[in-house]
């Protein structure tokens, strides 16, 4: 049990750091998404001159925000869950069911990250976005179309973080089944950062 607790402690600290960074970037992405949408509303409805890039920029930001915030929501129990059966069962059986569901989730996440990686490196990832450009130098004298793979990388990053969180949750369930629930490191309430 000590080895599992040590592994959980390390994974807990890694997740704390990575998810804090992810929440910070996710908040910035959400702010940029709101700005892009507001710019499009002003230009489309007030100036009657729709811009080509805000829709794509908002989608780009939304994907990254989701990929970076979802792991925090999973870790804090912020996803919609139907736990009536687990709560109705005897305590040990409910905990075993929860562990089984986390293991199934881990399998799905591992399969999904393989699909996501194929999206980033495959045919779809070789194309560029239609209207998003970034400067190729600080002088802003030439511009480069943003590759679609940059957008799809949010899927891979989000799934990788979800896998880390899922493994942490599995270890927590195993330790709780072993009777050492009091030794589990706490997940701070303020760690949600709006992801709840």
Q: What is the pTM of this model?
A: 0.87
Name 173's Cβ contacts closer than 8 Å, sequence gap at least 6: 95, 98, 99, 102
Give pLDDT tens digits for 53-104: 999 999 999 999 999 999 999 998 877 777 778 788 888 888 899 899 999 9
Residue ranges per structural domain of the chain: 2-182
Q: Average the pLDDT over each of 28-32, 173-177, 183-187 and give the range with the smallest value.
A: 183-187
């Amino acid at each position: 049990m000590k080895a599992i607790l040590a592994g959980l402690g390390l994974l807990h600290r890694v997740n704390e750091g990575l998810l804090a960074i992810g929440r910070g970037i996710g908040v910035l992405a959400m702010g940029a998404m709101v700005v892009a949408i507001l710019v499009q509303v002003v230009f489309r409805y007030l100036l009657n001159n729709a811009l080509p890039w805000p829709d794509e920029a908002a989608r780009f930001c939304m994907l990254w925000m989701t990929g970076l915030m979802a792991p925090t929501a999973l870790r804090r129990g912020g996803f919609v869950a139907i736990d009536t059966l687990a709560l109705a069962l005897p305590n040990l059986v409910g905990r075993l069911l929860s562990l089984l569901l986390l293991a199934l989730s881990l399998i799905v996440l591992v399969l999904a990250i393989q699909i996501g990686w194929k999206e980033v490196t495959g045919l779809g990832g070789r194309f560029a976005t239609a209207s998003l450009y970034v400067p190729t130098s600080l002088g802003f004298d030439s511009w480069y179309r943003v590759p679609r793979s940059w957008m799809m990388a949010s899927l891979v990053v989000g799934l990788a973080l979800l896998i880390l969180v899922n493994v942490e949750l599995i270890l927590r369930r195993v330790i709780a089944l072993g009777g050492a629930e009091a030794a589990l490191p706490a997940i701070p309430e303020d760690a949600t950062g709006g992801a709840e």
